[in-house]
Amino acid sequence: MNKLTRNLLCTAVAIAFSGAALAAQPDADRYIVKFKDGARGNVENAVRASGGSVKLQISGMNAMAVSVPAAALNGLQNNPNIEYVEQDHPRYLMALYNDDAGDPTTSQLTPYAIYQSQANQVALNLAGAKKVCVIDSGLAYSGQGETGGPNMDFSDSNITGSNDSGTGNWFQDGGPHGTHVAGTIAALDNGFGVVGMAPGNPLHIVKVFNEAGWGYSSDLANAASKCSQAGAKIISMSLGGGGANSTEQTAFDQFTANGGLVIAAAGNDGNSVRSYPAGYKSVMMIGANDANNQIADFSQFPSCTVTTGRGRNASTETHDGYCVEATAGGVDTLSTYPAGGATLSTLEADGSGFASSAMENVGSASGATFFMGTAESTAAGAAGRICVIDRGVISFHDKVKNCQNSGGIGAIVINNEAGMLYGTLGTANTTSIPAVGAALEDRGSLVGSASASISIGASDYGYMSGTSMATPGVSGVAALVWSNHPTCTGTQIRDALKATAADAGAAGTDVYFGYGIVKAKAASDFLAANGCGGGSEPPPPAGAPSDLSGSVSKRGKNYNYSLSWNGGGATVDIFRNGSKIATESNSGRFSENLGATSASYQVCNAGTATCSASIIVAY
């Protein structure tokens, strides 16, 4: 079997836009407005009167994203119907490198991060599986997307999705990022392609990023609500940006408080800056390591200490929720791409497969080999053969050009230092034969070979690097472990992953690795031995209140409304005509007096979107 290879593009995709893309920058005048119960209409009118517009109603939070002139802010902040106004911060995708690579159509490949995290040692219990909500750029699941067609390595029965405003269909990719992330979590164990950490785990896709690759903190707050409504218990976000936001934070705080687990990328700037939403305590921040258990040089490492306020009002807190808690493989990670959206190189010599990297020129070549040394000049012996070339002295382009001018049909360029050779033939490439890089460790076998075959072509699988790739790795491990301990809460799964992570870097916890590299089997064994909460597992989360019914009777000048229902959590929220009117201990009953002859009611588990059906009660 040939070994898959890849070509590392030494260009960061660090969300740099130029030319026409500048027209699609985030709005500087976009804010989140939190309004009081029942005040939505008044606030919408105030926004429009100020010359602004409503951009998004954030589901279940009495909040909306608006665009207003800076001069209007003071008026909104002093509006008695408004609790607060805050900046709506941009949020960006966090892939650092993109390796064009692979098309494993004849066999199934296991990415190194799966072996490293022990995911291959734990089987997914589909009956206990927790749905993972991937907030990203969509999935290549059906139809032609921005990058390519659907990738066939996903389940056709347990993936759902929803769109955010202006992002297009969730099932058509808006770039390869979201498809790569989803495959790392749940690509199928089906004999071809790649396999995910929790193969076949249910997914819900929320497409929040536009074509330019950014969204807003309000989009993430709204997406968290959609994740809850879809029944997801894990949120995976390979994204982030600067600036904390209380609305965004509240959304993830609530998801966690309701038993869920939120996981997000630390960031790719290789510094100590704290990125959000990973920087909130309720969100598990993930860093990236490589295949050698070394920290990735791009992985951000913020301090675990946060100071808020100033002067006498300043307070300082140290908590592991403010910094990296764990890491997983995020350097050159292989996963799914939209169909035809990546590039594969394969290398075989004397019938054995070798790792390689695609340099340039799509195509295939097979034949006898000819060793050209450093290929500083043409050589008649290369005619009709695969040139085997050492790195050094002249450029890659000139080496391959000398091979081609000698009549060579393909080129293998071998590194002159340990590891794989990643390179290109430059922007002014005048060659046409396929050329691949190879590792120094394989030099003896390649130079001594009698024949070789190389191929470079379009593929449905490829490599990326970034904390974006480590984050779905941990999300998949969490789903895998949780499926085998389904009565645990998300926080208990998070604690188990930290308690069993393999220490790396400096001894003990540190800002780079946190508690260490996640280990699926160790975490599952820990829970089996100790229980979710140190010896006993909690009861399953409460279901929605059901069988809501009501009656109304005349009482003097008013009307007495009585409600009854079954089930639900220990505390419930009562809604009348779409607005919350009470939060009470769940007795299964509620009554009130009104002057109106009819009203609609709904009962929800407190602070959640787990609700009964709405009913209308009329006299």
Catalytic residue numbers read 136, 177, 468
Structure tokens at 512: 């780079």
Q: What is the distance of C-alpha 536 from the center of its chain?
A: 32
Sheet holding 90-93, edge to edge: 214-216, 90-93, 239-240
Yes or no: say if 108 and 195 are a contact pair by the CB < 8 Å rule. yes
Distance from C-alpha of 270 to C-alpha of 133, rounded to nearest angstrom: 27
DSSP-derived 3-state class of residue 327:
strand
Structure tokens at 125: 């219990």
Distance from C-alpha of 518 to C-alpha of 526, rounded to nearest angstrom: 13
419: left (phi over 0), alpha (psi -120 to 50) or beta: left
**HSE toward the beta carbon, residue 351, CA cutoff 13 A:** 0
The Cα-based distances of 345 to 2, 151, 463 in angstroms read: 10, 19, 12
Distance from C-alpha of 308 to C-alpha of 315, rounded to nearest angstrom: 5
Angle, alpha carbons 360-365-366 (nearest 5°) = 145
Q: Is 557 exposed, middle or buried (0-12, 13-18, 19+ CB in 10 A)?
A: exposed
Q: Is 315 exposed, middle or buried (0-12, 13-18, 19+ CB in 10 A)?
A: exposed
Instruction: Check residue 78 and report its DSSP letter.
Output: T
Distance from C-alpha of 336 to C-alpha of 154, rounded to nearest angstrom: 9
Closest CA to 433 of 479, 467, 399: 399
Sheet holding 63-67, edge to edge: 53-58, 63-67, 30-35, 82-87
Rg of the chain over CA atoms, in angstroms?
28
- Positive or negative torsion for Cα 581, 586, 592, 597: positive
Distance from C-alpha of 76 to C-alpha of 55, rounded to nearest angstrom: 16
Yes or no: say if 376 and 393 are a contact pair by the CB < 8 Å rule. yes
206: amino acid identity, one letter: V
The Cα-based distances of 504 to 271, 288, 326, 496 in angstroms read: 19, 12, 10, 17
